[in-house]
Structure 1
Amino acid sequence: MIHFENVGLRYGMGPEILKDLTFTIPKGSFQFLTGPSGAGKTTLLRLMFLSLKPTRGLIRSFERDISRIPVTELPMLRRRIGIVFQDFRLLDHLTTYENVALPLRVRGKEEASYRKDVIELLKWVGLGERINVLPPVLSGGEKQRTAIARALIDRPEVLLADEPTGNVDPPMARRLLNLFLELNRLGTAVVIATHDLGLMDQVNARRMILTDGRLDLYE
């Protein structure tokens, strides 16, 4: 689904933030991305999401070299990737339900075709009573779960999640992990960036450890 070959990234004339990254995210795979704060995990997820371009090296997304893709075509590729940002990026003027349904609305789907699915997913992440609430009223954990539900609602081929359990208690963290695992069983490739060793210990999955801009893989 995603392939990096000798990828490096720097901002301006500064030092390289990411160095010589070579790895593949296979179809239907599950992996954790971990490493110390400031190692570049969020930047790496942004490269996978195609919101950044590398300074050097090759990135292939769904078998296409992103350096050869017209800018106008990138949004179509991004629709195949779900992402959960650390800062949630919810729209404050939309309700919880409307935020989660937004990717489907953008694709032109009729509400009758997805309303039941949105409500069921919100109930599953513990937000069944918060469907009509606006984001400013939600707690940090509730915003996190709304962002996760939005990323999952369109059954992405790849899911990228940046610290998706960082604002929830341990029982909800396990529940969300089970949701990611179920999505993976249905065929979605999953990459979870996390510092939570306890979370990672619950799953026998590949660990991608980013340190000082370099990546080590442990199967």
Structure 2
Amino acid sequence: MLTFENVGLRYGAGAETLRDVNFQIEPRSFQFLTGPSGAGKTTLMRLIIMALRPTRGLINIFGKDTAALSNEDVAATRRKIGVVFQDFRLLDHLTLYENVALPLCVLGREESTYRAEVIELLRWVGLGERAHAFPTILSGGEKQRAAIARALISQPKLLLADEPTGNVDPTLARRILRLFIELHRSGTAVIIATHDLSLMDQYEDARRLVLADGRLHIFE
């Protein structure tokens, strides 16, 4: 599904931020990506979604070399990846229902073909009664769960979550982790970037990808 081979990333003439990164993500797998602040977790995520290009090395996703993809191919590949951003990135002028439905709307699907899907997904993340609320009146935890629902509505093959529990209390963090575990068990590969060791300890079946000093270390 996803392979990094000797990937390095350098900004300008400075030292490499990431160097000689090698790992493989299998379908239906679950992994935590961790490391100290500034280690490059978000940078690695941006390489996966092709918001950045590596300075050297090979990134292969869904059987394709990302360096060889056209703009149209990049867009099509990104539609197979769900992303939960740390800052939610909900649109305040849209209701939760509209925010979650937005990826399908952009694809040109008629609302009649996805309305039931959106409502069911909002119920699954515990927001069924908030479908017509606007983000401005929601708590941080509700916004996070809405962002998760939006990332999942396209049924991605790979889900990336950048510090998804960083703005919620421990009880809600456990609930959010359970949502990701259920998603993983249904067939989606999951990568969660986090510095929360207590969160990682709650799912011992997950691999740990640890970034330190620009290098990636893997713990099965």
When normalised by structure 2's length, the TM-score is 0.95
**1:44-55 equivalences in 2 (<5 Å):** 44-55=44-55
Task: Report how far residue 130 of structure 1 moved.
Answer: 2.2
| Residue-by-residue CA offset, 1:52-109 (whole Å, 9 max, x unaligned) | 1101110001110111111232010000000111111112221111111111112222
Q: Structure 2 stretches of 5 or more lacking a match?
A: none
Look up the match of 1:153: 153
- 3-state DSSP of counterpart to 1:100: helix
CA distance in 1, matches of 2:189, 2:124: 21
CA distance in 2, matches of 1:30, 1:66: 22
- 3-state DSSP of counterpart to 1:147: helix
- 3-state DSSP of counterpart to 1:144: helix
Aligned Cα root-mean-square deviation (Å): 1.3
| Residue-by-residue CA offset, 1:165-199 (whole Å, 9 max, x unaligned) | 11222232222212111211121110001111121
In the alignment, is the contact (CA less than 8 A) between 2:164 and 2:192 conserved in 1? yes
Look up the match of 2:66: 66
CA distance in 1, matches of 2:2, 2:217: 17
**1:1-219 equivalences in 2 (<5 Å):** 1-203=1-203, 204-219=205-220
Q: Report how many residues are paired.
A: 219
Q: Which range moved further: 132-141 or 189-198? A: 132-141
Using the aligned pairs only, state the percent identity: 67
4+ runs deviating over 3 angstroms = none
- 3-state DSSP of counterpart to 2:21: strand
| Residue-by-residue CA offset, 1:131-152 (whole Å, 9 max, x unaligned) | 2122222222222111111001
Q: Structure 1 stretches of 5 or more lacking a match?
A: none
- 3-state DSSP of counterpart to 1:21: strand
Q: Which range moved further: 8-17 or 57-66? A: 8-17
